[in-house]
Amino acid sequence: MMQISKQAVFYVPDGAEEGKAVARTTHLCISAHQDDIEFMAYAPIAECFGRADRWFGGVVVSDGAGSPRSGLYADCSDEDMKAIRVEEQKKAAHVGEYSFQLLLGHPSSAVKDPSAKEIVRELAEVLRAARPQVVYTHNLADKHETHVATALKVIAALRSLRPEERPQKVYGCEVWRDLDWVCDEEKVFLDCGAHPNLARSLSGVFDSQIAGGKRYELAAEGRRLANATFSASHACDTYSALNYAMDLSPLMEETADVAEYVTGYIDRFRAAVQGTIAKFL
């Protein structure tokens, strides 16, 4: 049994025993907020959907209390919103046939606190129990501070594991900043073209966020469509919907410098732009 915080909510859509649901997970997404999973990790959700040999699991770290609200949700308190967002995330897990959905329920301030080691310990517990092949989280150039802080805690948790307990790959995905600026040969392409009806259903579950004045479901689909078309300038479309990710796998090693690793992408992109301009001057 995993040792996680008392406020955490654990949900298994098909009613399997908790330990079994975690252990069968092959693809795991760890996000900052409710709905981040569905926007950044639709590719593995679709890859696992309807399969008996692949299972998708989701972990949401923060409680979502600070979300904007209007209309039907205008008078909701922070506690109301936390409860609503938990139910929305459980609905998404049911629709997407996730192996399990865990909501840790930490305030955003704790997620962003570098000294909040309990969150790192909890994530390590989940990772150790699940032993996923692939982990998805936020990219480290995201402009949302809670997203970056979540990704850093995921990296810290992975570093605390023994090498044999770690996943094969770790990817940092698009949410509050896309990765179009990453050099093409370094982009990880996440194919989001399967089951488009499922993608729309998952995005539409989060009514409290959409009604709050942010059309996330349209924005997420638009980004995927744009990436698919603009991913190659001199070829017909290979994908119908596409997300980009950054390969964070090398950061599982404690010797890797996180900031230098991420800014290396920026430096190489800068050099590529300079090189193209220089050709025609």
DSSP string, 71-105: GGGTT--HHHHHHHHHHHHHHHHHHTT-SEEEEEE
Torsion of CA 128, 132, 133, 136, to 10 degrees: -110
In a domain, 276, yes or no: no
Contacts 24+ apart (CB under 8 A), 146-149: 146/32, 146/33, 146/62, 146/108, 146/111, 146/112, 147/32, 147/36, 147/175, 147/176, 149/32, 149/111, 149/112
In a domain, 274, yes or no: no
In a domain, 202, yes or no: yes
In a domain, 270, yes or no: no
- pLDDT greater than 70 at residue 1: no
In a domain, 277, yes or no: no
In a domain, 2, yes or no: no
Domain assignment of residue 61, given as a range? 9-256
- pLDDT greater than 90 at residue 68: no
Please compute the mean of the pLDDT values over residues 90-106 and round it to a whole number.
Answer: 97
C-beta of residue 35 within 8 angstroms of C-beta of residue 64: no
Q: What are 10-48's pLDDT values in tens digits? A: 999 999 999 999 999 999 999 999 999 999 999 999 999
Q: What are 192-241's pLDDT values in tens digits? A: 999 999 999 998 898 888 876 788 889 999 999 999 999 877 677 789 99
In a domain, 172, yes or no: yes
CATH of the domain at 168: 3.40.50.10320
In the sheet where 9-11 sits, what is the strand order?
9-11, 100-106, 56-62, 27-31, 134-138, 169-173, 242-247, 188-191
In a domain, 275, yes or no: no
How many domains does the chain fold into? 1
